[in-house]
Every structure is written in structure tokens, then in C-alpha cells.
Amino acid sequence: MSDWLIPDWPAPAGIKACVTTRAGGVSLAPFDSLNLGDHVDDSPEAVAENRRRLTDHFAIQPAWLQQVHGIAVAHADPGRVDTADASWTSTPGIACAAMTADCLPALFCDRAGTRVAAAHAGWRGLAAGVLEATLDSLAVAPADVLVWLGPAIGPKAFEVGPEVRETFVQQLPEAADAFVPSQNAGKFMADIYKLARLRLAERGVTAVYGGGFCTVSDPRFFSYRRASRTGRFASLVWIDR
């Protein structure tokens, strides 16, 4: 099976999480091999088998989403595919899932181990407030929330235009620290992890873990910037049965 990445965070007993890698599936190149995205022109049969392997291995029911770079948060339901970029649940065995290939996946849980959530945050969703919306969906005090930031494009690979920097700095002046000038005139290198931490801190969430990955340079993960025709990996969190 896949070389699962298990988040290193002090989640309470009963909270489980994992990040899939490219290994352990049946998809052929360029989706090799554990592609979980059903919207990237991979074989539907291969995607179905890859998802089956994931769900059987952990004995979970993932609630897959149709992600659109927005801020909608769905109540996780494996029986339907909601158009949203985050989901939450308090039901054991149902996994909240975020599929990515450079965007930032963020996993949430409360200290009591009664609620979990997962969010997909590209820069547009991050700027629009998807992390804040996900936090609100948990309906617990920010001080009682733990967040783990999963594999995303790193600050040495995430080149953006000045309009992206301006969008974040207008909302939060401290965000200027997350951008450094690129070697390409007029461009900036953005640190999506720092941006996420700043926005969570602004809402009172200080127990934030993870970060430090780079999907572009780490071959374990799919990366849209590295190869535009590629698969998607998933970051999942659930309450164990």
C-alpha cells in the first residue's frame, strides 16, 4: 500500500489522520499511481480502485468534495459529493478529505476529540477565508482547536504576481512578511504556510502544526506546478470508531 504520511501533531486520542502519497495505486502515468482525483482525466476504474484501497485500509468512509477554490464548508456526507472546499463532522468513521496537488490542505480537530474538519486552500480560497469558515463550522473556541498544515507548494517554488501580495496585505498588513521579491522583476515568492498561520492566529488559533513541505520538489506528492497533467493526493482526518 501507499507510504502513508501520518501527521505529527498532538491530536487527542481517537482522532486519526493521514496523507496519501503517489505510491500504492493502480493508475498509469502521468497519474501513477494512487491518484484519488476523479476530475483529471484518469481512468474512472483506476480512481475507484485507488479510493477503495484507501477506504478499506483505514476502514473509513471519506466524504469527497467538488472543490472550487471557494469558502463553502459542507457537513461531511459520504453519500453525496458537495460543492465545497471544506467539510466537518462529529460522526465516527466518516473522514473529512481535502484533495490537493500544490494547494494547502489543513486538518482541524478540537481538543475534546469530538469534531474534525478538513479544508482545501489555494491562495484564492485562503484569501477569501476558507480557513476561517472551517474554524467557524467547528463551533468551538479557537483556543480549543488544533490545526495541521499538510503538504503544499513551498516558499521557494510559489512565485506569484503583485496582485496576490496586495490581496493578502490589504486584509492583514503582517502578511507582507510572507512575501519576498523573486528573481523575476515584479514577482514575489509566497509562503502559503506563513499566510495560513497568520490568518489562524488572527482568529485566536495558536496550536498550529505541520508545514515545511514542498510538493513541487518532493516526488512523493502530485504537483500541478511540476506537471500540469497529474493526479491528486488526499489529506484526511476522522474520529476513530
**Cβ atoms within 10 Å, residue 32:** 17
* Residue ranges making up the domain that contains 211: 15-152+206-239
Give me the mean pLDDT over the 117-124 stretch: 98
Domain count, the chain: 1
Residue 111 has pLDDT above 80, yes or no: yes
Name the pTM for this structure.
0.97
185 in a structural domain:
no
Bridge-based pairing of strands 116-121 and 73-75 is unpaired
| Predicted local distance difference test score (pLDDT) of residue 113 | 97
Give me the mean pLDDT over the 32-43 stretch: 97
Conformation bin of residue 44: beta by default, left when phi > 0, alpha when psi is -120 to 50:
alpha
44 in a structural domain:
yes
Residue 135 has pLDDT above 90, yes or no: yes
Residue 137 has pLDDT above 90, yes or no: yes
188 in a structural domain:
no
Q: What is the spatial order of strands in the sheet that 86-89 belongs to?
A: 73-75, 86-89, 116-121, 104-110, 145-149, 208-210
177 in a structural domain:
no
Give me the mean pLDDT over the 82-105 stretch: 98
Structural contact between residues 159 and 189, judged by C-beta atoms closer than 8 angstroms: yes
pLDDT in tens, 1-10: 558 999 999 9
Q: CATH no. for residue 120?
A: 3.60.140.10
Q: Burial of 101 by CB count in 10 Å (0-12 exposed, 13-18 middle, 19+ buried)?
A: buried
Banded model confidence at residue 241, pLDDT cuts 50, 70, 90: confident
170 in a structural domain:
no
Banded model confidence at residue 72, pLDDT cuts 50, 70, 90: very high
pLDDT in tens, 160-214: 999 999 999 999 999 999 999 999 999 999 999 999 999 999 999 999 999 999 9
181 in a structural domain:
no
pLDDT in tens, 138-156: 999 999 999 999 999 999 9
pLDDT in tens, 157-173: 999 999 999 999 999 99
165 in a structural domain:
no
183 in a structural domain:
no
